[in-house]
Structure 1
Amino acid sequence: MDVLSDVLAAMRAGQPYAGRSTCRAPWGVRFPAGDAACCHIVMRGGCSLIPLEGEPVNLSVGDILFTGPQHAHTLADQPGSAAVDFRPDYNEGYSVAELNIPGPGAATEMLCVCYTFDLARPHPLLATLPPLIHLPARVGDNGPLRATIDMLGNELHQPRSGTDAILPALIDMLLMYVLRAWLDGSDHSPGWATALNDPTIAIALHRIHRQPEYPWTVAELATQAGVSRATFAKRFTTAVGQPPLTYLTWWRMTTAARMLHRSDATVQSIAERCGYGSEYAFAKAFKREYRVPPGQYRRLRSHSRTVPSHIQAER
């Protein structure tokens, strides 16, 4: 089990969407502080990112900008230009209609990809993501990421047979490569960048994600990681933000909720997969976390794209 891939799968809600834009100065586009993270790539020209707080960030050809959920921002040819609201049509699936803003000035072409995350039960990784991740273009830098951008741009520019199947994989690849670049360039301050780059913590996370049904103890996880119990508990809690067994329970319940929503597995089989010996014990733990029994949660989620507010997990 690849922990980062598993975490992203658990965080996502609904389908991502992507599109191309061609804007001629003067122009501006406002992105609201919703539950979506956005990735902007400048293909031609240049522009400025204007956050709600802080100084504008100038973007040039090849620059990549990732903005996390709940971070409103504006892209414009320059600060002060009039802006329109970004309102994608979710019914269009993975690709939205191209955004074109006419004007007398220079043109800027961009790719925009947005990922909707489930903020009712956010993974701790989201809390450690910076509001902005700016990856400037550098010759010869991060070839796989650049290749993914080229393929995504081609599919959006000239959709062909198979595009609907290809786009989801490319969109996921783009997000993964951006997060990899952030993780690799992190200053290793406490947080998930440390957790995934620290072999001691990464081994324990791998074990938890691979076998959530196993009756893990702190001592056994420490043995797997090759350090003392006290050292492991302290390092894990500092990096992940939760003690080992608290995170284990959190991940079990997250796995259970995902299986209830995305599979037809019985409640008993989900209970066993998540380390509970009886359906009763599992239902009690699940209701404590989500405030409704597993069966009711499944029925409510089947009729809603996001988790209704009254069944959001306790935080």
Structure 2
Amino acid sequence: MTVSPGNLADRPPAAQPDDLLSDLLRSVRLTGERVVTLQQPSTFAVGFADVGSLHIIEEGELELRIDGDPDVKHIGRGDVVLLPRGDRHQLSSARGPASEQVRWLCGRFTIGDPQASHLLRSLPAAIVLGATGTPVPEGLEVARRMLLIEMQTPSQGSAVMIARILDLIFVQILRTWAAGKDPEPNWLAGAFDAEIGLSLSAIHRAPGRDWTVDDLAQVCNLSRSTFAARFAERVGKPPATYLAHVRLDTAADLLRNTSLSVNHVAARVGYTSEAAFSRAFKSRYSTPPARWRRDATTPGPAPGRATAEV
């Protein structure tokens, strides 16, 4: 008797219909670039700037300083640190501990879509697993060992393997942080809320729809007042504000990547008046849409960024 292969093993689970994190990370087009091992003597300071960074501490103790943040974070062996926004920061030898060598893995990420980087800019400057009491998930330890194998015994395809492992680590850290206790309000914390995540997915799937708070509350099967309060608590802004930001960011993508007229772009993202759309777009991007499109499609400096974060 011939048995279908589908009967020999469990079928893979179907993708979740409301996997907002995957949808948004695809729009960002995140790419792990490379990873190196940094080994320093007992006294040192190393600066990093303008690139998403990952640090996995292998040995020793360090101090992490982030530009604009007066607090110094103390990290050590086994800790994992992600700086998703690319904030300027410095790692230096810790004051006080006995002289010891420090070694850590350092990876970096690039964002293929500069305008989608607002999704990452709304995250914390640094996510630290291990030192803050948030345990490092087992999957990250497996990924770390895989990185070391590819770095120590490189072979054909190692560059791609390293890039994919870095992508995996990035997503795992975000998932762990968002599922932890009391994450900072933003879209990622909202995505991990069983009800609010449904409304975020609905908004991102159809930003041009004439959504009302009542409509979104019904998507979540919540009362209007409960939904509005929980949305603001999880996401950090009211539903209408979040919807407006998503619409304008979608419009920016359409302006850059399609030949649709400004009027058609406005209609696609839910505006009935081109004038109202232009005012809202200029308020968010500091440039009228037609000029923003010219700047975005002409070689040279990048056009204006969003002035308010999703």
TM-score surpassing 0.5? Answer: yes
Long gaps (5+) in structure 1: 82-104
Whether 1:75 and 2:91 are equivalent positions in the alignment is yes
| Aligned with residue 46 of structure 2, among 20, 23, 30 | 30
SS at 1:199 equivalent: coil
Do the aligned residues in 2 keep the contact of 1:22 with 1:107 (CA within 8 Å)?
no
Aligned ranges 1:197-276 → 2 under 5 Å: 197-261=192-256, 263-264=257-258, 266-267=260-261, 270-271=265-266, 273-276=268-271
Shift of the 38–130 alpha-carbon distance from structure 1 to 2, 3 Å rule, reads: same
| Aligned with residue 65 of structure 1, among 81, 91, 94 | 81
Aligned ranges 1:100-119 → 2 under 5 Å: 107-115=101-109
Alpha-carbon distance, 1:76 to partner: 3.5
Alpha-carbon distance, 1:41 to partner: 0.7
Q: Which of structures 1 and 2 has the larger relative contact order (alpha carbons within 8 angstroms, sep 6+)?
A: 1
Alpha-carbon distance, 1:19 to partner: 2.3
Counterpart CA distance in 2 for 1:70 and 1:134 is 18
Shift of the 306–69 alpha-carbon distance from structure 1 to 2, 3 Å rule, reads: farther
Shift of the 292–54 alpha-carbon distance from structure 1 to 2, 3 Å rule, reads: closer
Which residue number in structure 1 is paired with residue 305 of structure 2? 312
Which residue number in structure 1 is paired with residue 36 of structure 2? 20
Which residue number in structure 2 is paired with residue 51 of structure 1? 65
Alpha-carbon distance, 1:160 to partner: 3.7
Counterpart CA distance in 2 for 1:112 and 1:303 is 34
Whether 1:143 and 2:138 are equivalent positions in the alignment is yes
Which residue number in structure 2 is paired with residue 42 of structure 1? 57
Matched positions, count: 284
Give the TM-score taking structure 2 as reference length.
Answer: 0.72
Long gaps (5+) in structure 2: 1-17
SS at 1:57 equivalent: strand
Do the aligned residues in 1 keep the contact of 2:54 with 2:83 (CA within 8 Å)?
yes
Do the aligned residues in 2 keep the contact of 1:204 with 1:224 (CA within 8 Å)?
yes
Do the aligned residues in 2 keep the contact of 1:41 with 1:63 (CA within 8 Å)?
yes
Do the aligned residues in 2 keep the contact of 1:23 with 1:108 (CA within 8 Å)?
yes
